[in-house]
Structure 1
Amino acid sequence: MNVRKLRLQRHWSQDQLAQLSGLSIRTIQRIERGQTPGLESLKSLAAVFDVPVETPPEEQDMTPEQPIDPVEQRTIEYVRDIKGFYSHAIKYVLVITMLFIINLATAPGYIWAWWPMLGWGIGVLFHGLNVFEVFNFFGPAWEKRQIEKRLGRKL
């Protein structure tokens, strides 16, 4: 039983799975990272996913080390990249807003908050361009060429 895969198939967050199973979020995270669950945790997860518990935890493979389809792996990585970008953009908006508030409260005669907004904004822009592959200068084709070049092979 691959806990992460079963959880994602049901479109559950780790928090939702923790609530349904009665386990802590930290326990769910550990199991998804490959730690072998205890018998009680295994029974709770099996009940939530409606699968039988037939083998002892030592023999039951619940780790994500099972072969994952390369397309599925790329999709998971892409979603993580998008999540990272959105997180970056939200932090940018919150911090820049706070800087403008501080700037207007302390020195409204000179708006210095434009400078960090511009600098960090360029970083957010490039992060977005990279994640959404608008300009894919260092994509898979580039990586393959570099690997072949370093190994001394012809393409």
Structure 2
Amino acid sequence: MQHTDKEKLARAKKRVEDIKGFYTHLTIYILVNIIIFLANIGVFSGTGIHMGMSGWGFFITPFFWGIGLFFHGLWVFGPTITFLKNWEERKMKEFLDKNQ
């Protein structure tokens, strides 16, 4: 019975670490994109505010990084991705059973 409690504790700890990792990723995404935005409008250049990059060029970093952030969120919070975690658990159990 203690073995089961240890497994539950380990899974809970892993889940908390995954959630913390997502929120860290989200925070860095927001901060970096604010800095990029401010740099593009010329806040750091000392020449006054002007739009540097125009069109799609301005949105490349937030867009593609946002896609990665979206999938990270699905991995952490999405119920449809649980089959991947179940697969990992099954594989780990399979390897443990082979070694015994």
Return the TM-score normalized by structure 2: 0.68
Indicate the residue corresponding to 1:130 in structure 2.
75
Distance 1:145 1:94 in 2: 38
CA displacement at 1:103 relative to structure 2: 0.8
State the match for 2:35 in structure 1.
Answer: 98
1:100: how far off? 0.7
CA RMSD of aligned residues (A): 2.7
Relative to structure 1, the CA distance from residue 147 to residue 74 in structure 2 (aligned partners, 3 Å threshold; closer, same or farther) is: closer
Query: Could you say if the C-alpha distance between residues 73 and 147 of structure 1 is closer, same or farther in structure 2, counting changes exceeding 3 Å?
Result: closer
Note the C-alpha offset of 1:101. Answer: 0.7
Which gives a bigger RCO, structure 1 or 2 (Cα 8 Å, sep 6+)? 2
Amino acid in structure 1 at the alignment position of 2:28: K
- Aligned pair count reads 83
Change (3 A) 1:146 1:71: closer
Identity %: 35
**Deviations along 1:80-127, whole A, 9 cap, x unmatched?**
110000000000000001101111117616153311000000011100
Unaligned 5+ segments in structure 1 are: 1-66
Which of the two has higher C-alpha Rg? 1
